[in-house]
């Protein structure tokens, strides 16, 4: 919030903004799609699970809730593993876990088994892929990072449009057990995406190799004395910008995911058919696909990027106001208009949320910062939709649900924009004043040095004009050097004299 941090990874290599980074972006696109769309795509099998195990809809809904809780709540664990082993090994293991959970779920004999396999194991595997992919994207892109974030975030609606119909086809052809088994095989593609996450290495030359050897020889003893690197850096909480972002994001998540959960039921409540009501989510997802890259391009503009926090605040206000107006919908046409505007605002929020966090903390602390933020958001994810459902049970009116969600999102935008304007801007102005003072003193020092050099030049010219005097002075200096000096005194000679 206070300013853009130079994106340099731990090895001191600047982000290439292209090259192999586009392959990393493709992997992040797929991982983001699996992570966000998979909990919703699994809901296609809920009716078959209800018939198989004789449970209620609320029991099956816990599968998606556990998946999301694992995706968000294991953020600190992912940060520790990434800081310890690196992004690629963690993602490889995560891909195996994600696939293993779905394969084990296909042999389940009770709903508890699916909670443990699909919810816990697959959720952990997706979390171990999602967070490291964002970290690698942040390392490979700096100038083009807003665009890269927008394109990667577009993987979520694209995967949702693909996985939901695929799940219906698999359920019809092979049943829920065969569908789970095939989805487990599809999730092995996370390992393929992990193989694309090549660590950044500085280009080596002959001079660089010689310098590295010299540095290694000099720092062998120093490295033993150095403390170990922190696996989870809590110093990010000392940054006021990070604290403000975390509070605002937690409030936002309370209401952000509520409308997509209840809009289909809202349409059915107004007397629309099931297929017609389900089409609303398709419209929302289709608009979302184009909104995220477009917002990424806008956020990358020179004038907009230093103010991306305020663009993020505008996106949240846009989303919240859309919820408030959508609460007054009375027919299907008004719900279609609501889904169009909600898709635009939802895509803007999705494209900007991690871009703003990267801007605040920079590359070195991003791995720890995103884990801590996701942990705080996990609490809000578990409270938000169930709380809205509880309100619906009490009031029997969807209007209050959408009003609550919209007010929460608007409140988060007000907190983010107001606190950033009041606190962060003052600090940045104070820093600028200090920099001005430093530059003034540096200028005065430069003037003194220039005068000193001019005087020396004049003296040198005089010495060149009188060669005899130079020889006499040199003889006197040799006599002084030959004379013994008392202990503790320093012999004054032209070399030691300033």
Tens of pLDDT, residues 372-422: 888 888 888 777 777 777 787 788 888 888 899 899 999 999 998 888 888
| One domain for residues 179 and 304 | no
More confident of the two residues 455 and 157: 157
| One domain for residues 149 and 279 | no
| Predicted local distance difference test score (pLDDT) of residue 199 | 85
295 domain residue, yes or no: yes
| One domain for residues 386 and 239 | yes
418 domain residue, yes or no: yes
Radius of gyration of the chain (CA): 31
220 domain residue, yes or no: no
172 domain residue, yes or no: yes
| One domain for residues 149 and 240 | no
More confident of the two residues 424 and 496: 424
| One domain for residues 106 and 253 | no
Of the pLDDT bands very low, low, confident and very high (cuts 50, 70, 90), residue 58 is low
211 within 8 A of 20, measured Cβ to Cβ: no
Residue 101 has pLDDT above 90, yes or no: yes
Of the pLDDT bands very low, low, confident and very high (cuts 50, 70, 90), residue 275 is confident
Query: What is the rounded distance in angstroms from the CA atom of residue 125 to the CA atom of residue 190?
Result: 9
| One domain for residues 188 and 246 | no
pLDDT in tens, 179-236: 999 999 999 999 999 999 888 776 655 444 555 565 555 555 544 444 555 667 678 8
More confident of the two residues 143 and 7: 143
| One domain for residues 246 and 140 | no
| One domain for residues 295 and 416 | yes
Q: Which of 147, 178, 199 is the last residue of a domain?
A: 199
Q: Cβ–Cβ contacts within 10 Å for residue 342, how many?
A: 25
458 domain residue, yes or no: no
Q: Which of 407, 426, 445 is the last residue of a domain?
A: 445
Of the pLDDT bands very low, low, confident and very high (cuts 50, 70, 90), residue 314 is very high
352 within 8 A of 379, measured Cβ to Cβ: no
| One domain for residues 184 and 267 | no
Of the pLDDT bands very low, low, confident and very high (cuts 50, 70, 90), residue 481 is very low
142 domain residue, yes or no: yes
- Domain count along the chain: 2
Could you tell me the residue range of the domain that residue 48 belongs to?
A: 13-199
| CATH code for the domain in which residue 246 is found | 1.20.1250.20
Buried b (16+ CB within 10 A) or exposed e, 162-197: ebbebbeebbeeeebbebbbbbbebbebbbebbebb
| One domain for residues 246 and 316 | yes
227 domain residue, yes or no: no
299 domain residue, yes or no: yes
Q: Which of 445, 474, 490 is the last residue of a domain?
A: 445
| Predicted local distance difference test score (pLDDT) of residue 409 | 92
Q: pTM for the full model? A: 0.69
Supply the angle between the helices 145-153 and 21-41 in degrees, to the nearest 10: 30
| Predicted local distance difference test score (pLDDT) of residue 375 | 84
DSSP assignments along 171-218, one per residue: HHHHHHHHHHHHHHHHTTHHHHHHHT-PPP-PPP-HHHHHHHHHHHHH
Percent of the residues in the chain that have a pLDDT greater than 70, as a whole number: 76
| One domain for residues 187 and 257 | no
| Predicted local distance difference test score (pLDDT) of residue 11 | 52
| One domain for residues 189 and 273 | no
| Predicted local distance difference test score (pLDDT) of residue 410 | 93
DSSP H helices in 226-273: 240-256, 258-269
Averaged pLDDT score across all residues of the chain: 77
């Amino acid at each position: 919030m206070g300013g853009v941090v130079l994106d340099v990874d731990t090895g001191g290599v600047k982000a290439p903004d292209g090259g192999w980074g586009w392959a990393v972006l493709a992997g992040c696109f797929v991982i983001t799609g699996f992570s966000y769309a998979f909990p919703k795509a699994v809901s296609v099998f809920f009716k078959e699970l209800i018939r198989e195990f004789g449970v209620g809809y609320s029991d099956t809904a816990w599968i998606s809730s556990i998946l999301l809780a694992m995706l968000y709540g294991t953020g600190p664990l992912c940060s520790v593993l990434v800081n310890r082993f690196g992004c690629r090994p963690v993602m490889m293991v995560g891909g195996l876990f994600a696939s293993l959970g779905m394969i084990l779920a296909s042999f389940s004999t009770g709903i508890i088994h699916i909670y443990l396999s699909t919810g816990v194991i697959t959720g952990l595997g997706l979390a171990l892929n999602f967070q490291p992919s964002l970290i690698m994207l942040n390392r490979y892109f700096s100038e083009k990072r807003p665009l890269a974030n927008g394109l990667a975030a577009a993987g979520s609606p694209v995967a949702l449009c693909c996985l939901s119909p695929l799940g219906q086809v698999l359920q019809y052809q092979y049943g829920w057990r065969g569908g789970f088994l095939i989805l487990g095989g599809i999730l092995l593609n996370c390992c393929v995406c992990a193989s694309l996450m090549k660590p950044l290495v500085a280009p080596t030359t002959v001079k660089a190799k010689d310098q590295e050897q010299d540095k290694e020889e000099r720092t062998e003893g120093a490295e033993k004395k150095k403390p170990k690197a922190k696996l989870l850096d809590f110093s990010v909480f000392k940054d006021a910008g990070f604290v403000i972002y975390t509070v605002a994001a937690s409030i936002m998540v309370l209401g952000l995911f509520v409308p997509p959960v209840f809009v289909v039921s809202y349409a059915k409540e107004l007397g629309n058919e099931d297929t017609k009501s389900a089409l609303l989510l398709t419209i929302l997802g289709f608009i979302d696909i184009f909104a995220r890259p477009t917002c990424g391009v806008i956020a990358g503009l020179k004038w907009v990027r230093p103010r991306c926090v305020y663009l993020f605040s505008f996106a949240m206000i846009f989303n919240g106001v859309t919820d408030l107006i959508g609460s007054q919908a009375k027919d299907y046409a008004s719900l279609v208009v609501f889904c169009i505007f909600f898709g635009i605002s939802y895509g803007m929020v999705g494209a900007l949320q991690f871009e703003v966090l990267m801007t605040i903390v920079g590359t070195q602390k991003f791995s720890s910062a995103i884990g801590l933020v996701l942990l705080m958001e996990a609490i809000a994810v578990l409270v938000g939709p169930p709380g809205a459902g509880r309100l619906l049970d009490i009031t029997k009116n969807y209007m209050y649900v959408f009003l609550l969600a919209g007010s929460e999102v608007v409140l988060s935008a007000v907190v983010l924009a107001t606190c950033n304007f009041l606190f962060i801007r003052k600090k940045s102005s104070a820093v600028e004043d200090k920099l001005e003072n430093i530059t003034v003193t540096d200028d005065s020092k430069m003037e003194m040095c220039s005068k000193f050099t001019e005087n020396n030049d004049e003296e040198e010219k005089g010495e060149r004009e009188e060669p005899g005097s130079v020889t006499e002075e040199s003889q006197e200096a040799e006599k002084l050097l030959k004379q013994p000096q008392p202990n503790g005194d320093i012999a004054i000679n032209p070399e030691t004299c300033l």
